[in-house]
Chain A
Amino acid sequence: MDALILQALNGLASASSLFLVASGLTVIFGVSRIVNFAHGSLYMLGAYLGWTLVTRFAGGGAPGPLGFWGGVLLAALAVGLIGVAIEVLLLRRLYRAPELFPLLATFGVVLIVQDLALWAWGPQDLLGPRAPGLHGAVELPLLGLRFPRYELFLIALGPVVLGLLWLLFRRTRFGLLIRAATEDREMVGALGVDQRALFTGVFFLGAVLAGLAGALQLPRESVNLHMDLAVIVEAFVVVVVGGLGSLGGAFLAALLIGELHAFGILVFPRITLVLVFLVMAVVLVLRPHGLAGAAPAAVPPGAPGAAEPVIRPAPLALRRFALAVFALACALPSVLGDYALSVFADFAVFVLFAMSLHLLMGPGGMASFGHAAYFGIGAYAAALLAHHLAAPMAAGIALAPLAAGLAGLAFGWFCVRLSGVYAAMLTLAFAQIAWSVAFQWVEVTGGDNGILGVWPDAWARDRRVFAWLALALSAGGTLLLLRAIHAPFGYALRALRDSAPRAAAIGIPALTVRWLAFAFAAGLAGLAGALFAYGKGSVFPTLLAIPRSVDALLMVLLGGVRTVTGPIWGALAYAGLSEQLVRATDHWRLLLGLAIVALVLFFPEGLAGAARRWWEARESDGRR
């Protein structure tokens, strides 16, 4: 019994910590609709700045002149200012860009902060001081149990912060505006409120909360360079499980996850890997808008369609250009060296991977944060066939898309019933569940040591032949996708995205079309995965992990989600840039991050979107 009470208290303490990070995220999302990937970086900066402020202004590890609490608060404020800088310098310029595009920008910030933090604070984990007055453990009255003081403090802090935010939102004009903006952005604009100032204010608030959460970890956790990514995903899960933009919901979700964690490890010690994602999947399947989120105000039937550009058949010049590029790609392997050939095959794989995701994100209007699941399932299908059945490569390449497509059917059935970020987060949940299967089912998948020896058949083992094979399959898959986009199926997808009520009124079955699109995209991602497996000779759970999903997302956004062939250029640019930078410098994250930020600022419609704009401007000049 005592153990259970203590475990419940542990759950509460974790819940409070989680809530602090998630509260800032949900406030920012509620108002700006920005998926702020850099929120974890703000949290990490809060911890590092807190460490510096608390320890460095005095010698010997004793708290500096600011004292512990002064240091923590100052760190939170400093992070708030960093948040303001990010908003003013970067995100403010992107509010008109396609949905999710700011995610690309914030990912650039993540990379930059990672390198800057390493440079500023060094590689070694730092240990912050304990909080004065909250050392050690205390005997709980009545229960007679010992429990750490600081954890008790955290347990109390969660509800206090929730209460303060509640007061802020109910009792101040700023809070009122935030609530209004969360519910209806246009209305606030109509009220004559300066939206810019409001957004900046919201970012400040959200960043302060992130920084505070980070700095408050000083007495309980080490400050390290992995804090950002460790916290961001869980924070998002909390926000989504709670219901986007809902503080109360986030608090509830943090409680749920904290307690399930604390008790889960008593029963299944290995469940920590995947628990939060299981919770998210279950909650979203049962409640498509999270615990406390309401369905967005019913879109009136016949609301104007999104301002998406018309997709027309490519002009002759563009088709000639594409043909020339393809001819060049076909010729290239005969003059490339061995390494260039393997990079060539990689690029072919990434193009197909990005194009398959684009079918969902562009014409489908559905975001996916977990597309790597299908890439990885394809790769594992091929590897398992090769490893356990010694199947030839042709069998692997044929069956991988099938396996990934089936997984797409299974996962997609749930995902297409949700919308927006909820759907995207459900894809992430499924991807993480698939990842944890690959990671934990050691007997079959080899766990994180992966499966080795997945090499092509003898006839394709020559790098050049394999490069051509990869090109052929990637081009074939890409062609299939392009044809599908221009075929009735792609039109039906776009119809659903442009105007759901109109699509329904002309008899387009929304769920079926989206479901099949999901499986189709999954199957082609699986094909890309199988090719990747044979190209590398091995598969690992990293193929299904979040960074690979993020890569695909970045490629699509970078290329231009509102174009048809953008992902091809996005894939080549992103993969090429990282490949070059990693070889060229130790600070590739900083440079890649800066490059992404620059591309985002200069090409808010993506590379292909910018090219199209340039082309259209030239055409209209020509006509004049």
Chain B
Amino acid sequence: MSAPPPPVLEARGLVRSFGGVRAVDGVSLAVRAGELLALIGPNGAGKTTCFHLIGGQLRPEAGTVRLAGRDITGLPPPRIFRAGVGRTFQITATFGSMTVRENVQMALLSHAQRLFGLWRPARRQMRAEAEALLARVGMAEQAERASGVLAYGDLKRLELAIALAGRPRLLLMDEPTAGMAAAERRALMALVARLARESGLAVLFTEHDMDVVFGHADRVLVLDRGRVLAEGTPEAVRADPRVRAAYLGGVAA
């Protein structure tokens, strides 16, 4: 009998401080294939910093990040992308001078290492793949629109399509449903959950909306002032008195 495969993402003892304040202070977490882990906590708890440490936007001062057992600590974002991490941003980031489909094509071309072509028009390359991805996130009809004019919820879905274009093993989603209507949120998260189950994708996401968290996450990790406060199934976390005291008390009572 072989040992169980290592978790897709395993972070250990991550530390990062800004101006003497430890924004992330010894956080460890792990996400397995097919699992959705929600990272929650009050504002300033260190969620986004945590994401940046894993996604390569920031370098940790201490700690390691492993992707399927491989050390990716401190690599720049492009290398982390190539290692198999896709991400969406809290404030959406798309290429405003491209259409929706071109945004996805861009990610596909990058994944296929075809960035340095000088002759064949980009918009004619990997078009079907891009459309398939857009169809998966429900953006097929908007493929020809400029990404700069999209509604907020559509931008989030486009970001998801872009993130998926790299065939990631791990998806990092910073507030994937912020600004969406309730029905939209449920649809998007259901989609993400389905993708995770079907293709063994590991998903780490932050979220303010507790309905989303408790409705879709397999496990929940609570951060407070840079430290892990609690971790477990949604039910266990919800029941945890420390969590209730520190965080949920005022919100979900």
Which A residues are closer than 8 A to B by beta carbons?
A: 300-313, 480, 483-484, 486-492, 494-495, 497-499, 501-510, 513, 516
Contacts and interface: CB of A to CB of B under 8 A. Distances in A.
Contacts of B146: 309-310
Contact of A504 (B77, B95, B114, B162): B77
Contacts of B94: 305, 498-499, 502
Interface in B84-128: 86-87, 89-99, 102, 105-107, 109-111, 114-123, 125
Contact of B107 (A302, A480, A486, A506): A506
A499 B111 CA distance: 17
Contacts of B95: 305, 494-495, 498-499, 502-503
Contacts of B89: 301-302, 501-502, 505
A487 B114 CA distance: 10
10 contacts: A302-B91, A303-B91, A309-B97, A310-B98, A483-B121, A487-B121, A489-B117, A492-B110, A497-B97, A502-B89
A491 B122 contact: yes
8 tightest CB-CB pairs across the interface, nearest first? A302-B89, A305-B96, A302-B93, A507-B81, A504-B77, A502-B93, A308-B97, A302-B91
B148 A488 contact: no
Nearest to B149: A310
B57 interface: yes
B41 interface: no
A506 B121 contact: no
Contacts of A510: 78
B91 A301 contact: yes
Q: Which of B82, B86, B105, B116 has the largest count of A CB atoms less than 10 A from its CB? A: B116
Contacts of A304: 91-93, 96
Given A489-B116, A491-B109, A492-B106, A313 B93 contact: no
Nearest to B162: A506
Contacts of B118: 480, 483-484, 487, 489
Contacts of B166: 506-507
Given A505-B55, A507-B81, A507-B111, A307 B116 contact: no
Contacts of A499: 93-96
Nearest to A308: B97
Contact of B76 (A306, A310, A504): A504
A305 B123 contact: no
A307 B116 CA distance: 25
B96 A486 contact: no
A469 B79 CA distance: 45
A602 B123 CA distance: 34
Contacts of B107: 506
B99 A310 contact: yes
Given A302-B91, A505-B87, A508-B78, A488 B96 contact: no
Contacts of B23: none
